[in-house]
Structure 1
Amino acid sequence: MQSFHFVIANVFAETHFGGNQLAVFTDARGLSDLAMQSIAKQMNLSETTFVLPARDKVNAAKIRIFTPQAELPFAGHPTVGTAAVLGQRGLGAGQFVLEEAIGDIRVDVELRGDRIAARFQIDRPIDSPGFTPTNALVADLLTLAEADIAAAWFASAGVPFCVVQLAGREAVDRAVLDRNAWNAKRKDLWAPNFLLFAGKPTSERLYARMFAPALGVDEDPATGAAAVALVGSLAKRVVAGDGRLAITIDQGVKMGRPSVIEASVDVRAGQTSNMRVGGLTVILGEGSLAVPSN
């Protein structure tokens, strides 16, 4: 048996037991791909990260990100939370780079006692297909009336989402993903994950929920990758010419795990850049897990 150290943290947490839970294995050397996936399933959190030595010595670390069912090339709350844990455990405050499957991600960390503020920046373009889902289809999948759907589109910054703007917060809370309808239609969807939100991005705080059953996550309390897809795709819709869009997203409220995500993006000549997502992380505790030797 080998013993592997892990830290439990709540990411995007304004309160001690809010935010999105994360397990960070601080030294994953010696773990196979299968072992990492098995551990993530055992931890049964939205994501578990595994820290490895960086390929480039100027970078802080390489991290791998797993949901209970699959490895992700990138995810926001694991990036923010892992940066916070590494900052608290010796890297300190400042800027450093984490290597992920999607590429190098620059993070900024600020230590604030038992809370750590961390923010990542990503400069990849927002991907989307040349079509959008119909309001009728989205309403059917979310068990809502078609009149509840203000707009729907697909967007990805590494993890694809069907972004759905609803008429109000009440509609967001009322939404229920119809798993039978979703299973029947998922092959026709460019993105199997759903980010629902309400609010005007130019003047209001946004209220959101996220469903990702394809990743083994029925509902996620806080989703940084979805925040990137949202702020990047919204900017193309609401920013005329050059400018900047900054939003605050409240997520996880319906689940009893309130989370606050800050996101912003610059727009130049219609192109997005410098997408930034961050928030507070609270570290709750640590332990070790015994794993059979390979």
Structure 2
Amino acid sequence: MRAFRFVTVDVFTDRRFGGNQLAVFPDARGLTDAEMQALAAEFNLSETTFVLPPANPQHSARVRIFNRVAEMAFAGHPNVGTAYVLAREDEESPRAYRFEEPAGLVEVTLTRDAAGRVTGAEVAAPQPLRIGATLPVATAAACAGIPEAAVLTARHAPTLAADGGNHRLLVEVTPEALAAAQPDLAAFQRAVAEHAEATGGFLSLYIYAPDGGVARARMFSPLAGTWEDSATGSAATPLAGFLLHLSGAAEGAWEITQGVEMGRPSLLLARAWRTPEGIRASVAGRCVPVLRGEAVL
């Protein structure tokens, strides 16, 4: 019988039972791929992470991220939460961690309070912004369960974008539609069938209502087993990059509130800036520890 220690944290919040839940296995040596996937499904959270020794000793760790049904190349809140857990267990934790992940090398910078205690982290998306295809307003509205008229297109059509993780369909909507949205699984299934080339058979929807440097957002990914996500760092970064792209500015920052409708309010601090290789983005937030225990296999 083998035992593997885990810690759960709430990410992108400063209070327990807010933000997005995450389970972290700080030492996953000895677990098989199938066992990692089974544990992620058992926890039934949007993501679970497994920390392994790095392939390159100059890096901090290899981090594998699993949602309920598959491994992910990159995700935001799992990196923030994993860095927080590792730093809380290491009194001599570094300023930043470098995690090896399928999407590339991910740098996560720790944030601390005035006393030097770790409070959270900022994760930089591993790749520049990639803007993909647009999808019809009717498709986006059907997936969100809102009227077509509630999808705002003055600035952009529903647009696929990514920066290292799964692409997200970015859709600006009215504040009223944001509050009323209800994902429609059948509409998601039709969307990936009708737009197979653009979506690659996967679709998650990130609807948002901006107000200057502040935005309210919701994320739906029922095809991955996440009916709604309370805080999505890997959607906040392409949104920040895309908003910067639209504005033409050199840099920008946004406070994104998510999870309100779920009763798990979250605050994501996203920023984006232009570089010679393209628009880069990051997202930061606080974390709170919740549970710890062992998985016995």
Normalised TM-score (structure 1): 0.92
Would you say 1:278 and 2:284 are equivalent positions? yes
Q: What is the deviation of 1:24?
A: 0.2
Query: Structure 2 matches for 1:1-294, cutoff 5 A?
Result: 1-90=1-90, 92=93, 94-112=95-113, 116-129=119-132, 131-151=133-153, 152-157=158-163, 158-168=165-175, 170-189=176-195, 190=199, 191-200=202-211, 203-240=212-249, 243-268=250-275, 271-273=278-280, 275-291=281-297
Question: Secondary structure of 1:248's match?
Answer: strand
Name the CA distance, whole Å, in 2 between partners of 1:109 and 1:50: 19
Question: Secondary structure of 1:283's match?
Answer: strand
What letter matches 2:107 in structure 1? R
Higher mean Cα deviation, 16-25 or 138-147? 138-147
Sort the Cα spacing of 1:54 and 1:154 in 2 relative to 1 into closer, same or farther, 3 A.
same
Q: What is the deviation of 1:54?
A: 0.9
Question: Secondary structure of 1:214's match?
Answer: helix
Q: What is the deviation of 1:103?
A: 1.0
Name the CA distance, whole Å, in 2 between partners of 1:15 and 1:283: 9
What letter matches 1:78 in structure 2? P
Q: What is the deviation of 1:17?
A: 1.7
Q: What is the deviation of 1:110?
A: 2.6
Name the CA distance, whole Å, in 2 between partners of 1:257 and 1:281: 13
In structure 1, stretches of 5+ residues that fail to align are none
Sort the Cα spacing of 1:268 and 1:71 in 2 relative to 1 into closer, same or farther, 3 A.
closer
Name the CA distance, whole Å, in 2 between partners of 1:141 and 1:101: 29
Name the CA distance, whole Å, in 1 between partners of 2:284 and 2:21: 15
What letter matches 1:94 in structure 2? R
What letter matches 2:53 in structure 1? P
Sort the Cα spacing of 1:108 and 1:270 in 2 relative to 1 into closer, same or farther, 3 A.
closer
Name the CA distance, whole Å, in 1 between partners of 2:51 and 2:295: 15
Sort the Cα spacing of 1:93 and 1:259 in 2 relative to 1 into closer, same or farther, 3 A.
farther
Q: What is the deviation of 1:49?
A: 0.1
Sort the Cα spacing of 1:284 and 1:231 in 2 relative to 1 into closer, same or farther, 3 A.
same
CA contact (8 A) 1:155 1:161 kept: yes
User: Deviation digits for residues 79-123 of structure 1, max 9, x if unmatched?
Assistant: 000011011111525122111111111111134488622001235
What letter matches 1:117 in structure 2? G
Q: What is the deviation of 1:271?
A: 3.0
Name the CA distance, whole Å, in 1 between partners of 2:131 and 2:270: 19
CA contact (8 A) 1:115 1:282 kept: no
Normalised TM-score (structure 2): 0.91
Question: Secondary structure of 2:245's match?
Answer: helix
User: Deviation digits for residues 202-255 of structure 1, max 9, x if unmatched?
Assistant: x24100000111211111000010011111111111124xx1110010000000
Question: Secondary structure of 2:89's match?
Answer: helix
Work out the percentage of aligned pairs sharing the same amino acid.
36
Sort the Cα spacing of 1:184 and 1:123 in 2 relative to 1 into closer, same or farther, 3 A.
closer
CA contact (8 A) 2:204 2:220 kept: yes
Q: What is the deviation of 1:37?
A: 0.2
Name the CA distance, whole Å, in 2 between partners of 1:50 and 1:289: 12
Name the CA distance, whole Å, in 2 between partners of 1:178 and 1:7: 33
Question: Secondary structure of 2:219's match?
Answer: strand
Q: How many residues align?
A: 284
Q: What is the deviation of 1:14?
A: 2.6
CA contact (8 A) 2:19 2:267 kept: yes
Higher mean Cα deviation, 183-192 or 69-78? 183-192
Q: What is the deviation of 1:149?
A: 0.3
Name the CA distance, whole Å, in 1 between partners of 2:275 and 2:51: 35
What letter matches 1:13 in structure 2? T
Higher mean Cα deviation, 11-20 or 34-43? 11-20
Name the CA distance, whole Å, in 1 between partners of 2:239 and 2:266: 16
